[in-house]
A and B are shown apart, each in its own frame.
Chain A
């Protein structure tokens, strides 16, 4: 069995689902579940496509890094689909294409192929966000996304003209041997901006508010959790294996990212709507992910993405279901939401406390180790930023939790269906489990640091 199936089967299923419209949600469920199962049977290898070997043809890289990325993205994708596919039957085909695109993003070892998959999953994302019924916000997202990927392509073509290769491994070897780190800066910045649009980094994230502040049960978790995780993994791949910067350019990027984190947390602090708080917090978190990768910590960056994606799925799922039912997402309207929904409330609490980084949760293990590693390198500025923003995060999340648990006379009535309850509880239990029993997480993180390389993959 080969990893190509992860891209080919969802695409084939997308065509089939057009022919059998009535069965399309079940095809979607089956395929997305199957792509999680199939991951257990794939050998770690580099797959050559079309018989052209690595630098000339496209290759897919399945190493430990992309395997973990695939597990995370596919599992979360399946959970979201399991909850939302019945309500949003019409876009089952689009979701299948999105799955193919996301798997492609994580697998590919070719920079142009990455652009194609980003566009495929991007177009699917625009279509998914049309279920928000806010066409103007979707249009803004489309324009921002298209300009972003055009800039990515422009940077990529300049790099191709300089080095004559599109393969990630070959590119990284060429950059290292040519010593042209300064000349690489401009095309890389173009690519960074392009990916930054998708990753919601600061000056390029104006679309995120329109999409996520009006998101529903499908779009919120899908964009803030699954897509954010996928693009985070792309950043990890590019920043740690292909373009490694430690000089002034690295400093500039670090400042952009720190600005993203600070602005995100500040806006979340100032906001009075539940979905806005969550969306600004997720902007800050994706900034933090890029920051960690910029410092070169692959293993813990991966687990930061895992913790964020799982947490954001729980938070957005619960908040968006409630705002669908109540028709508003003001914190005031949510007051006392968890009094009658204790299980849901506990899951929400676990996810938000893990996002802050309190002990006993996965977020704590990740943040603790990142801070430890940063202090070991003698850097004090970045740990200070992380700690201060964690405190701000703590204040607004605890404030939100107090209101949601607060008992009052007119309690909002929201019914959560069984599947949703089950999914969020299982994810919350996992976050707690790995927060307490952190040994396997630490081993895996060190393992990723030691060998993200397979033959023909990243150098």
Chain B
């Protein structure tokens, strides 16, 4: 179920990237795409009825069912990278606004 939600978000992001001509909306679409992707990564590690993958005094047997911790680690990295890209994109958006006075790509008069 989670995977379907993730794929819907991915497609939504791609649709936004292909149709929107506003710099800010493109950045938002990019973020939606990344969130969908992150959700997909987490869903890969999900095990039905699994515990959080931490050994504690209560959960201290290796026979217990844990969810896969690796995708969670991967998604942390992916989130950080996504934030970095978004910040850079917004900085560029500011530069573009200073140069052209608009966020609409069609109004900039450049290819």
Whether A112 sits at the interface, judged by CB under 8 Å, is yes
Instruction: Report yes or no: B10 in contact with A154, Cβ–Cβ below 8 A.
Output: yes
Instruction: Report yes or no: A160 in contact with B88, Cβ–Cβ below 8 A.
Output: no
Instruction: Report yes or no: A142 in contact with B71, Cβ–Cβ below 8 A.
Output: no
Given known pairs A135-B99, A146-B30, A160-B71, the reply for A153 and B88 (CB within 8 Å) is no
Instruction: Report yes or no: A116 in contact with B77, Cβ–Cβ below 8 A.
Output: yes
Instruction: Report yes or no: A150 in contact with B37, Cβ–Cβ below 8 A.
Output: yes
Q: Counting chain A CB atoms within 10 Å of each CB, which of B41, B89, B92, B96 scores highest?
A: B92
Whether A138 sits at the interface, judged by CB under 8 Å, is yes
Instruction: Report yes or no: A147 in contact with B89, Cβ–Cβ below 8 A.
Output: no
CB distance from B75 to the nearest CB of A (A): 9
Contact mask B53-91 → A, CB, 8 Å, 1/0? 000000000000000001100100110010011001100
Q: Please, how many angstroms separate the alpha-carbon atoms of A116 and B110 in the complex?
A: 33
Q: Please, how many angstroms separate the alpha-carbon atoms of A87 and B93 in the complex?
A: 25
Query: For residue B14, which residues in chain A have a CB less than 8 angstroms away from its CB?
Result: 147
Whether A119 sits at the interface, judged by CB under 8 Å, is yes
Given known pairs A147-B17, A147-B33, A154-B37, the reply for A116 and B81 (CB within 8 Å) is yes
Interface residue tally for chain A (C-beta within 8 Å): 23
CB distance from B77 to the nearest CB of A (A): 6
CB-CB contacts below 8 Å: B89-111 with A? 89, 92-93, 95-96, 99-100, 105, 108, 110-111
Contact mask A150-164 → B, CB, 8 Å, 1/0? 100110010011000
Instruction: Report yes or no: B84 in contact with A123, Cβ–Cβ below 8 A.
Output: yes
Instruction: Report yes or no: B93 in contact with A139, Cβ–Cβ below 8 A.
Output: yes
Query: For residue B34, which residues in chain A have a CB less than 8 angstroms away from its CB?
Result: 146, 150
Instruction: Report yes or no: A210 in contact with B30, Cβ–Cβ below 8 A.
Output: no
Query: For residue A138, which residues in chain B have a CB less than 8 angstroms away from its CB?
Result: 92
Query: For residue B70, which residues in chain A have a CB less than 8 angstroms away from its CB?
Result: 160, 166
Interface residue tally for chain B (C-beta within 8 Å): 32
Instruction: Report yes or no: A161 in contact with B99, Cβ–Cβ below 8 A.
Output: no
Query: For residue B12, which residues in chain A have a CB less than 8 angstroms away from its CB?
Result: none
Whether A143 sits at the interface, judged by CB under 8 Å, is yes
CB distance from A158 to the nearest CB of B (A): 8
Q: Please, how many angstroms separate the alpha-carbon atoms of A123 and B89 in the complex?
A: 10
CB distance from B58 to the nearest CB of A (A): 26
Whether A130 sits at the interface, judged by CB under 8 Å, is yes
Query: For residue A157, which residues in chain B have a CB less than 8 angstroms away from its CB?
Result: 40-41, 44, 71, 74
Given known pairs A116-B81, A150-B33, A150-B37, the reply for A142 and B88 (CB within 8 Å) is yes
CB distance from B35 to the nearest CB of A (A): 11
Query: For residue B100, which residues in chain A have a CB less than 8 angstroms away from its CB?
Result: 136
Q: 9 A-B contacts, Cβ less than 8 Å apart?
A: A112-B74, A123-B81, A136-B105, A139-B89, A143-B30, A146-B85, A153-B78, A154-B10, A157-B40
Closest A-B pairs by Cβ, 8 of them? A135-B95, A135-B96, A161-B44, A119-B81, A139-B92, A146-B85, A157-B41, A135-B92
